[in-house]
Structure 1
C-alpha cells in the first residue's frame, strides 16, 4: 500500500509541477493557443498565475512534508485540496465542452482521492 501511495503521489506531484510551471511562467497568450489552454482566454492573467503558484505549492505539499518528516499530515490535506482544484477544472472544461480534458481531470481527482484516503487511513505516516 505504501509503495502504491508513493507512486501515485509522485505522479500527481509531477503533474502539478508541470502544470504549475506552465501556468506561472508561460505567457497567457501562448497558453491560450495551446491544446487545452483555451480556458485562459477569458481568465485574468493574475488568476492563471495564481493557479500556477497553487499547483507548484501542491507539488511541494505532496512530497516535502513526508520526505522531511515535518507535518506529514499536509500530504493528504494537499491531496484533498487537489481534489477541489480538479472539481473546478472539470467544471471549467465541461462548460467549454472539452470532454477529454474533463476525463483527464477526473483521473487526477481519483488519484488525489486515493492519496488522501490512503494517507489519512491505512497508509498514514503516523503510527
Structure 2
C-alpha cells in the first residue's frame, strides 16, 4: 500500500476532486442549458441539453467513484477507474476550451486534469487499494 503519507494525500486529492465534480455535475444536471450558458458556461450553448446533462451525470458518477467504493471497501479498484474517467473528461474539456479560445477556463481544466491523473497514477500503481 506504500507510504501512509502518500495514501493520505491521494485521499485528500480524491476528496477535493469529488466535491468539485459533484458540484459541477449536479449543476449541469439540475439547471437548464440556457441558465448554464448565461452563468459563464458558454460552451453549453454548442451542445444539446441531453449532452450537457450527460456530461453532468459522468461528473457525478466520477465523483462518487473516486471515494465511495474505496471508503466502503466494495470494489475499491473502481476509484482508479473513476480517476481515469475524469482524466478523459478533463482532456475533452481542455480540447473544447482550446478550440473555443476560452483561455480563462483552461487553468481550471488543466489543474483538475493533473489532479485526477495523480489519483489515477497512485491508485493504479504503487498506492492501489
**Shorter-chain-normalised TM-score: which range?**
over 0.9
Residue aligning to 2:15: 10
Distance 1:114 1:100 in 2: 23
Distance 2:57 2:87 in 1: 16
Residue 38 of structure 1 pairs with residue 42 of structure 2 = yes
Residue aligning to 1:57: 61
What stretches of structure 1 move > 2 A for 4+ residues in a row?
none
Distance 2:113 2:11 in 1: 16
Residue aligning to 1:95: 99
What is the CA RMSD across the aligned residues, in angstroms? 0.8
TM-score calculated relative to the size of structure 1: 0.95
Structure 1: any 5+ residue segments left out of the alignment? none
How many pairs are equivalent?
124
